[in-house]
Amino acid sequence: MTETFHFEAGSAPLLISIPHLGSLIPEAQQPAMTELALRSGDTDWHLDRLYAFARSMGASFLWARYSRYVVDLNRPPNDESLYPGQAKTGLCPTHTFDGQPLYRDGREAIDVQERDARRDAYWRPYHAQLRAEIDRLRAAHGKVMLWEAHSIASVIPRLFDGKLPDLNIGTSAGASCAPAMEAAIRAQLEACQDYTWAINGRFKGGYITRHYGAPRQDVHAIQLEMCQSTYMEERHPYAWREDDAGRVTPVVERLVRAAFEGM
């Protein structure tokens, strides 16, 4: 484990990345932030626990320790919008997903010097490790699957209408992985009666999926954005729900295994 991220090297050509698992806020940043911000509410809680099954597959793991309220590791380094025309959650956010201010002074932006410092301290190390592990696994196996693990509250009116599907697969409209892998996932979802789902719907894949997915170079990236209501309490203190998690985890495992076998 490093100061800013956790990394485990596996033996199989499979890397589980969880860039929004972190909930820590640097001490120097805390006095300026609201009480709500210090809860790190938009964290992708408990996904290290939910994806623990992938250790039996020989997967590598990489996840953040610091909150996306510090810097969002799944946004472009130049902070351009991933979904033009829709509400933006940027590289260094100033508001929660539902529009509440993160800073006591109500600031609308982080100054350039501070943004660059955070990008250098948190964003660049994560992406350097991500690239290094993708390259290591591809050199060892000839191919690699990057699975981007995410979760989100099921209802956020500022970002989307109504309730999200339970399971949202993103492959950058088919550009980030081999067609057979997306087809294998679709077959699993079509056979699943317990959860709603979408492929390349509201979530087509964030920066990591779009940037690193290169199927012609044998790097296949897939994002799963799942509703937190499928496995946890969506309100503070964001508790894990054992029964619900026990039902959805095997479904997620089947998706990962189907894509991996289709690679």
pLDDT (0 to 100) of residue 89: 73
Q: Under CATH, which number does the domain 5-262 receive?
A: 3.40.630.40
136-162 b/e with 16+ CB inside 10 Å = b? ebbeeeeebbbbbbbbbbbebeebbee
pLDDT at residue 48 tops 50: yes
CA quadruple 25, 27, 28, 30: dihedral sign: positive
Of the listed ranges 53-62, 124-133, 153-162, 251-260, the one predicted with least confidence? 153-162
DSSP character at residue 259:
H
Q: Supply the pTM of this predicted model.
A: 0.95
| Banded pLDDT at 80 (limits 50, 70, 90) | confident
| Banded pLDDT at 2 (limits 50, 70, 90) | low
Distance separating alpha carbons of residues 208 and 75, to the nearest angstrom: 8
Domain boundaries, the chain: 5-262
Q: What is the pLDDT of residues 87-135, one digit of tens each?
A: 567 899 999 999 999 999 999 999 999 999 999 999 999 999 999 999 9
CA quadruple 80, 29, 121, 134: dihedral sign: negative
| Banded pLDDT at 199 (limits 50, 70, 90) | very high
- Decide: helix, strand or coil at residue 48: helix
CB 41, CB 96: distance < 8 Å: yes
